[in-house]
Amino acid sequence: MPLEPIHLKVVDRCAVLTIEAIAAALPSARFRGAVGHHLQQALGDENVGAIAIIGHAGALDFGLDPERDIAATANPGWLPALLLGPKLVVTAAAGAIGGRGLSILCLGDLILTTSDATFQCGPPALASAAGYAVGWTLAARIGMSRAWELTLTSRRIGAAQALEIRLASRLVPLCDLETATLQAAAELAHQQPGAGRTKELLRAATPPSALNGYIQAESRGLMELWNAGSSGDIANDT
């Protein structure tokens, strides 16, 4: 039986969400619905101490194209629990990573990637279409100045620079990416509850109200893009 484009399994106290390459072709609403459904499952499972999100090559490359179904991409209610809660998140991807895919990668507390990976934000006019609080997560990782520069220029950067500016936590060989991601997530899961308390402490500088305010602003941007698209001001995918 073939695997679903986006599927979840629980191994050794880790919830492993795998995004296959074919998932990039899914309509926006279906893609986000599947990701959200599985992450809610993982967040609600008291036996899960860490979450691994693995995007296979090409799975997280959404480039500079506007998304379909922008109205369905309003930020989900589980985002604060994932970003501020005690469950550790490890994300990993190889190859080209762009737009919505970069938003998913930035959900990680640790980000693993390969030496051939490239990273690109969406263009300024469509930046909020990526969703998943990417402005907040990107600035938290690399600083506001660098986040501004990458977003405003849509410049694609390589893995070495991503590691230098701390967008990536670690580079691993492509053949070892999945194994290294699962190992990192398992190590964090078995350090619970201490690791979770450390995450909450490090995130304490950003109160939930600040993150919620950002999410609301981003959701308004998504709706404005939808309204602009409905009036013909932006092009939708076909």
Nearest alpha carbon to residue 162 among 212, 210, 95, 223: 95
**Type of residue numbered 109:** D
**Type of residue numbered 36:** G
140 within domain boundaries: yes
183 within domain boundaries: no
H helix and E strand count, the chain: 9, 9
| CATH label of the domain that carries residue 76 | 3.90.226.10
pLDDT one-digit tens code per residue, 156-175: 999 999 999 999 999 999 99
The count of domains in the chain is: 1
pLDDT one-digit tens code per residue, 182-236: 999 999 999 999 999 999 888 877 777 778 888 887 777 767 766 665 544 444 4
Predicted TM-score (pTM) of the model is: 0.86
What pLDDT score was predicted for residue 238? 28
182 within domain boundaries: no
